[in-house]
């Protein structure tokens, strides 16, 4: 395929508005798993730890990402978690066997500490409740502890623990992956639907201002998908505001061309969930629309083998520490494009996870932090992907792979920020050996000029970043130009690009 000329034509018009983007689609996730908490966000012996033991270098990187919301405390861990273990004096907190990941949970970080960390990170908390081994009673009590101003048992207990003001956590997950046989207290769809309904009803009485996420299928390949969504939403529809989606991908076959197309699978997953939600809406003759919370997504496969041999019952062992390569960064970018392109229904999302565990940010205990390859698309899309999602009209050359047909070489998302009067094009060239010649008709964007063309590229799809060497990092010397209201660029082979445009000031 050498010297093959490939091209794409794009029309971008400010009238083709898909949706206002809810900034929460750039959220993330911290679970009590591996070194996400202990050794990740919390490392009290570190030279950069603050008075609470939180690593300031990690906080700085999280704030750079502008993460708007962080899901906590799980994940699989939440389905056997007693939230009461993580409050009160630290020297009185129990050490527990953590059954989901076969570790020891010290409970030195709990609800109050994490809420404090989130404030320092300039992020909101998305709290998950245990609907595995517990249920409605524990959930309503936790909500009272977090959000009620005072004058009741649990709100006064929070005040006694040193937190006079409520945490005012507004987004709550009704359990986690309850369809999974690996889950502590896993349930059938009917069983989950009933307990989630009763829990949601009680929680909305305690605090009517909260939003609730009904638990969806653990992934696209579950044998009960999408019946699980249809059956559970029959119960939870009136009280839930969102249904959750989870999906991870990996290049197990070492087939890069096929791997970079896996975001098409994510697109199909989202479309199927939307159809299922709208079927239940019609069946219930409801005027309410259920939106989507894609609250676990990422690449996850590099660490699978090494984790199998890990000794159980350690404190914060290095679990799920995928070392991401360049092609992983390209797929992560495409997955984020997909979220933007469904922002009319996907209102919340969480890259799983944020630090050390399948994460963009890595640390060594008592040592350095560094940015994984996937940090960069996350950063640029989060910071510059705020505003209105526009629907680009694309004609692109295509290819076929092992799993997919008619894969466009161009994967993209387009965002218009009216407040800053900026148009941002996010572009991936999936071709492994040739540049993609892009011509973009900007018919309704007069007098715009190129502010910057950022390129993430590397000749080796397996190139990685480590604490000692950053092989994969972006540059801003892309070749995009404006010629008579048309943007033209030769996007490098196998690259991700951000072209940021702004109106010229006379």
Active-site residue set: 177, 296
Measured CA to CA, the distance from residue 69 to residue 211 in angstroms comes to 13
Chain-centroid distance, C-alpha 271: 18
How many alpha carbons fall within 13 Å on the CB side of residue 65? 31
- Least Cα distance to 147 among 129, 134, 135, 121 occurs for 129
Query: CA 452 → CA 11, 379, 484, 497, 501, distances in Å?
Result: 20, 15, 18, 10, 7
Question: Using only C-alpha atoms, what is the Rg of the chain?
Answer: 23
Beta-carbon contacts of residue 29 (< 8 Å; ≥ 6 apart)? 70, 71, 72, 75, 295, 296, 350, 351, 352, 353, 354
Which token pair is 147?
């959000």
37, two tokens: 């908490």
H or E element, residue 308: helix 304-308
* Residues in Cβ contact with 208 at an 8 Å cutoff, skipping those fewer than 6 apart: none
Cα–Cα distance, 249 to 221 (Å, whole number):
12
d(C-alpha 222, C-alpha 414), whole Å:
32
Residues 445, 462: Cα–Cα separation, whole Å: 38
Q: What is the DSSP letter of 55?
A: B
Cα torsion at 319, 324, 327, 329 (round to 10°)? 100
Answer whether 174's CB lies under 8 Å from 184's CB: no
Q: How far is CA 254 from CA 307, 459, 480, 495, in A?
A: 20, 16, 32, 18
Q: Which two tokens stand for residue 183?
A: 């889950």
Provide the 10 A C-beta neighbour count for residue 89: 7
CB 259 within 8 A of CB 268: no
Q: Angle at the Cα of 417 (from 416 to 423), degrees rounded to 5?
A: 45
């Amino acid at each position: 395929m050498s010297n093959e000329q490939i091209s794409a034509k794009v029309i971008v018009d400010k009238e083709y508005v898909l949706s206002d983007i809810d900034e929460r689609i750039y959220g993330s996730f911290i679970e009590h798993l591996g070194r996400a908490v202990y050794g990740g966000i919390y490392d009290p012996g570190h030279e950069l730890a603050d008075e609470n033991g939180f690593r300031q270098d990690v906080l700085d990187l999280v704030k750079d990402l502008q993460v708007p919301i962080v899901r906590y405390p799980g994940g699989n861990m939440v389905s056997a978690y007693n939230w009461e273990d993580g409050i009160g004096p630290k020297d009185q907190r129990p050490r527990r066997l953590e059954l989901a990941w076969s570790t020891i949970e010290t409970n030195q970080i709990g609800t109050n500490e994490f809420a404090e960390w989130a404030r320092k990170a300039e992020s909101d908390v998305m709290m998950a409740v245990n609907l595995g081994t517990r249920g409605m009673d524990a959930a309503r009590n936790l909500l009272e502890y977090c959000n009620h101003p005072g004058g009741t048992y649990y709100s006064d207990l929070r005040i006694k623990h040193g937190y006079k003001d409520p945490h005012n956590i507004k987004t709550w997950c009704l359990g986690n992956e309850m369809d999974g046989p690996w889950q502590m207290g896993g349930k059938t769809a009917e069983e989950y639907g009933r307990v989630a309904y009763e829990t949601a009803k009680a929680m909305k009485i305690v605090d009517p201002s909260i939003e609730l996420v009904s638990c969806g299928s653990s992934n696209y390949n579950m044998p009960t998908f999408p019946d699980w969504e249809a059956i559970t939403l029959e119960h939870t529809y009136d009280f839930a505001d969102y249904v959750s989606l989870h999906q991870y991908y990996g290049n197990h076959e070492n087939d890069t061309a096929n791997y970079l197309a896996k975001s098409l699978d994510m697109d199909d997953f989202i479309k199927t969930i939307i159809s299922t939600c709208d079927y239940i809406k019609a069946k219930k003759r409801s005027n309410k629309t259920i939106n989507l919370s894609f609250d676990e997504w990422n690449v996850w496969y590099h660490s699978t083998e090494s984790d199998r041999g890990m000794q159980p019952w350690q404190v914060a062992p290095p679990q799920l520490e995928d070392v991401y390569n360049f092609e992983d960064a390209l797929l992560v970018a495409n997955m984020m494009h997909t979220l933007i392109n469904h922002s009319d229904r996907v209102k919340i999302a969480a890259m799983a996870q944020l630090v050390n565990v399948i994460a963009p940010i890595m640390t060594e205990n008592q040592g350095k932090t560094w940015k994984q390859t996937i940090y960069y698309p996350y950063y640029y899309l989060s910071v510059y992907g705020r505003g209105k999602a526009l629907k680009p009209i694309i004609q692109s050359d295509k290819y076929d792979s092992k799993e997919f047909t008619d894969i466009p070489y161009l994967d993209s998302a387009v965002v218009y920020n009216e407040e800053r009067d900026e148009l941002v094009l996010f572009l991936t060239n999936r071709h492994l050996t040739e540049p993609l010649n892009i011509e973009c008709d900007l018919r309704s964007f007069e007098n715009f000029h190129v502010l910057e063309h950022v390129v993430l590229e590397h000749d080796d799809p397996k190139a990685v970043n480590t604490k000692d060497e950053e092989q994969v990092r972006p540059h801003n010397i892309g070749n995009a130009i404006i010629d008579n209201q048309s943007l033209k660029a030769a996007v490098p082979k196998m690259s991700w690009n951000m072209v940021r445009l702004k109106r010229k000031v006379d």
